[in-house]
Amino acid sequence: MFSSLLALVAIVPAFVNAQAAIYAQCGGIGWTGATTCVSGASCQVLNSYYSQCLPGTATTTVGTTTVGTTTVGTTTTTTTVGTTTKTTGTSSAPTGSQTPAAGNPFTGFNVFVPPFYASEVTAAAANITDPTTKAAALEVLNIPTFTWFDQVAKVPDLGTYLAAASAQGKSSGTPSLFQMVVYDLPDRDCAAAASNGEFTIADNGQANYFNYIDQIVAQITPFPDVRVVAVIEPDSLANLVTNLNVAECAAAQTTYLACVTYAIQQLNTLGNVYSYLDAGHAGWLGWPANLQPAANLFTSLYKSAGSPSFVRGLATNVANYNALVAASPDPITAGNPNYDELLYIEALSPLLTGFPAHFIVDQGRSGVQNIRNAWGDWCNVKGAGFGTRPTSNTGYTAIDAIVWVKPGGECDGTSNSSAPRYDYHCSLSDADQPSPQAGTWFQEYFTTLVTAANPPL
């Protein structure tokens, strides 16, 4: 399976008579549509996976770029991702500083507490009658949590949050840092039993995603004084390491790579957005057989994107339950020497040659261990508690910060088998039931996270 990792073949587009309209796609790996543009526009390469008809002219020099080699056992696969094209002409990409600040991007900034999650927590605390539990729940209001932008409709809120973060920074004299999750790939969650994404590849998904990223860029641009830390597309790249045997993932591979590449390239132009690609967790990519293929994938994508200077590293354990450092191995981890996130990071880091080996680790629901029947159980696991508070004082040079990426209390998925987007994992015996739809508030689960928090709130 791993010898097929990143089996991207440079495909020469078939000859077509039609010409692509201004701003339409006109090339890229796997593209078989029009490769010339209407009068007044030229086909300009934005990255190896996507060329677009933009106003103006371009001079093109084409050559082959090899971005990575995967070796597993006795099989070696060299991955060629397409052509390298230099263009001149009009570009829609914003401009910004290409020199990131030295050191940990969290240092010297106050992490902004997102108002939407704060409103959810406030409402949840009001529904708790026990005064001790209520007081503990209200402590969550002071803990910074990432904001997920999993629909285009939520993107305009980003500007509102950044304006508030900017004002707070100016008022306090210490600049603000805003934490966000970019999460709207077409055919998202390709290996899940049910996808909750809004875009499909078959229905203009890639172009829709590019527009989604463009809207995010437009919201961030007016606030260069706010530092942004972005986790890029949870689960996406990890699926390309281990799940290419799943038809939906094999079909989505090229699109996922194109979209993630576009996201990190466009965010890189802003000069204040530090990106961490999602890297699954110890129970997924931490298995010894998965480490080198994962490192190859991250490095290859990074280099083919032009090694964007504001890609800071990788995010692990997003929305999962693994400890950073486990007191002892959970029985479900038997056979994997990398049974916690630190062991996973220490095993992966030396393999990331040419990729920035810095990490952030989600501990938002990792306060209680040994509560799952299997390592792959992810949906509203019973008995989970809030974990270690976010901090940049991690004690490990490779780990920039412990963070809370998953907003505790927002449901992972519904246990109602007749409901839309039902996933059977939400009906397993170690999943808290009954549970509402993904993303909606799960009051009982939030209360458990509060009461089981370790350290206590």
DSSP output for 208-236: HHHHHHHHHHHHHTT-TTSEEEEEE-TTH
User: What pLDDT score was predicted for residue 49?
Assistant: 54
The answer to whether residue 131 is domain-embedded is yes
User: What pLDDT score was predicted for residue 15?
Assistant: 30
Same domain, 365 and 419: yes
Same domain, 263 and 192: yes
Same domain, 356 and 434: yes
User: What pLDDT score was predicted for residue 421?
Assistant: 85
Same domain, 151 and 253: yes
* Given 184, 187, 189, 423, the catalytic residue: 189
CATH number of domain containing 290 = 3.20.20.40
Return d(Cα 3, Cα 7) in angstroms, integer.
8
Outline where DSSP puts E strands in 345-389. 359-362
Which residue is it, tokens 């910074």? Answer: 144
189 in catalytic set: yes
The answer to whether residue 92 is domain-embedded is no
To the question of whether residue 148 is assigned a binding role by annotation, the answer is: yes
- Please give the residue range of the domain that contains residue 338: 110-451
* Given 330, 340, 377, 412, the catalytic residue: 412
Beta bridge partners of 80: 66
User: What pLDDT score was predicted for residue 80?
Assistant: 32
Return d(Cα 290, Cα 2) in angstroms, integer.
8
Q: Do residues 206 and 187 make contact, with C-beta atoms less than 8 angstroms apart?
A: no
State which amino acid sits at residue 129. Answer: T
Return d(Cα 267, Cα 14) in angstroms, integer.
32
Q: Could you tell me the CA-to-CA distances from 34 to 17, 47, 170, 335, 359 in Å, in that order?
A: 7, 17, 49, 50, 41
For residue 306, the 8-state DSSP code is T
Return d(Cα 37, Cα 53) in angstroms, integer.
6
To the question of whether residue 425 is assigned a binding role by annotation, the answer is: no
Whether this model's pTM surpasses 0.75: yes
The answer to whether residue 389 is domain-embedded is yes
**How many CB atoms are located within 10 Å of the residue 192 CB?**
20
* Given 235, 278, 340, 432, the catalytic residue: 235
Which tokens go with 337? 């020497």
Same domain, 269 and 382: yes
214 in catalytic set: no
Same domain, 370 and 296: yes
The answer to whether residue 200 is domain-embedded is yes
399-403/359-362 β-pairing: parallel
Return d(Cα 272, Cα 224) in angstroms, integer.
6
To the question of whether residue 444 is assigned a binding role by annotation, the answer is: no
Which tokens go with 279? 């890297």
Same domain, 28 and 156: no
Same domain, 61 and 144: no
To the question of whether residue 375 is assigned a binding role by annotation, the answer is: no
Beta bridge partners of 83: 64
User: What pLDDT score was predicted for residue 26?
Assistant: 74
- CB-count burial class (<10 Å; 0-12, 13-18, 19+) for 124: buried
Same domain, 164 and 259: yes
Helix (H) or strand (E) holding 68, with range, is strand 62-72
To the question of whether residue 120 is assigned a binding role by annotation, the answer is: no
The total number of structural domains in the chain stands at 2
DSSP output for 380-440: SBTT----SPPBS--S-TTEEEEE--S-TTB-S----TTSTT--GGGGSTTB-SS--STTS
Cα-only R_g, the chain: 22
State which amino acid sits at residue 112. Answer: F
DSSP output for 128-166: --SHHHHHHHHHGGGS---EEE-SGGGHHHHHHHHHHHH
User: What pLDDT score was predicted for residue 90?
Assistant: 34
Q: Which of 205, 239, 235, 199 is nearest to 50 (CA)?
A: 205
User: What pLDDT score was predicted for residue 87?
Assistant: 30
The answer to whether residue 45 is domain-embedded is yes
157 in catalytic set: no
Same domain, 158 and 47: no
The answer to whether residue 90 is domain-embedded is no
User: What pLDDT score was predicted for residue 448?
Assistant: 98
To the question of whether residue 278 is assigned a binding role by annotation, the answer is: no
Which tokens go with 164? 């508030």
**How many CB atoms are located within 10 Å of the residue 161 CB?**
20
Q: Rounded to 5 degrees, what angle do the CA atoms 124, 130, 135 make?
A: 65
Same domain, 75 and 125: no
- How do the pLDDT tens digits run along the chain, 457 residues long? 434 433 333 333 333 347 876 556 677 766 677 888 888 778 877 555 556 666 665 433 333 333 333 332 333 333 333 322 333 333 333 444 578 998 999 999 999 998 999 999 999 999 999 999 999 999 999 999 999 999 999 999 999 999 999 999 999 999 999 999 999 999 999 998 766 789 999 999 999 999 999 999 999 999 999 999 999 999 999 999 999 999 999 999 999 999 999 999 999 999 999 999 999 999 999 999 999 999 999 999 999 999 999 999 999 999 999 999 999 999 999 999 999 999 999 999 999 999 999 999 999 999 999 999 999 999 999 999 999 999 999 999 999 999 999 999 999 999 999 998 899 999 999 999 999 999 999 999 999 999 999 999 9
The answer to whether residue 102 is domain-embedded is no
Return d(Cα 295, Cα 280) in angstroms, integer.
12
CA within 13 Å, CB half, 94: 23
Return d(Cα 251, Cα 135) in angstroms, integer.
49
Return d(Cα 186, Cα 19) in angstroms, integer.
25
The answer to whether residue 96 is domain-embedded is no
Q: CB-based contacts of 153: which residues, under 8 Å, 6+ apart?
A: none
User: What pLDDT score was predicted for residue 195?
Assistant: 66
Q: Which of 128, 147, 129, 316 is nearest to 230 (CA)?
A: 147
Same domain, 29 and 132: no
Helix (H) or strand (E) holding 55, with range, is strand 50-55
User: What pLDDT score was predicted for residue 93?
Assistant: 39
To the question of whether residue 404 is assigned a binding role by annotation, the answer is: no
Q: Rounded to 5 degrees, what angle do the CA atoms 64, 69, 72 make?
A: 155
To the question of whether residue 296 is assigned a binding role by annotation, the answer is: no
Task: Provide the Cα torsion 41, 184, 142, 453; round to 10°.
Answer: -160
* Helical packing angle, 247-268 and 288-304, nearest 10°: 50
**How many CB atoms are located within 10 Å of the residue 193 CB?**
12
